[in-house]
Amino acid sequence: MVVSYAGALPAGYSPHPRSAMLRLALLFLVIALIAMVLGATNVAGLSMQIAWILFVVFLVLAVISFAAGALRGRSPV
């Protein structure tokens, strides 16, 4: 018996932590841009640094994931 939980999940839910990290990076980027427009340079700078760090961590995890998937997909020689 196969049970599908697709209808029970909220819209936009993703089980991968990498996508959550990317969403957080984009959130901090938006916060930084809004703070910059409002003139809060300290908040804008801090938010931009947090967004940059989260984005770099996301990229590193994505590259590791792609490399591991490529290695796992190869047949042993």
How many angstroms separate the CA atoms of 56 and 59, rounded?
Answer: 5
> What H or E segment, with its residue span, contains residue 24?
helix 17-38
Six-digit token string for 18:
């990498």
pLDDT given at position 11: 60
pLDDT given at position 15: 58
Average pLDDT over residues 12-40: 75
C-alpha distances (whole Å) from 50 to each of 5, 7, 36, 76 are 34, 34, 15, 41
| Global pTM value | 0.54
Q: Taking the alpha carbons of 24, 25, 26, 32 in that order, is the dihedral positive or negative?
A: positive
- For the stretch 31-76, pLDDT in tens is 888 887 888 778 888 888 888 888 888 888 888 888 887 777 755 5
pLDDT given at position 30: 86
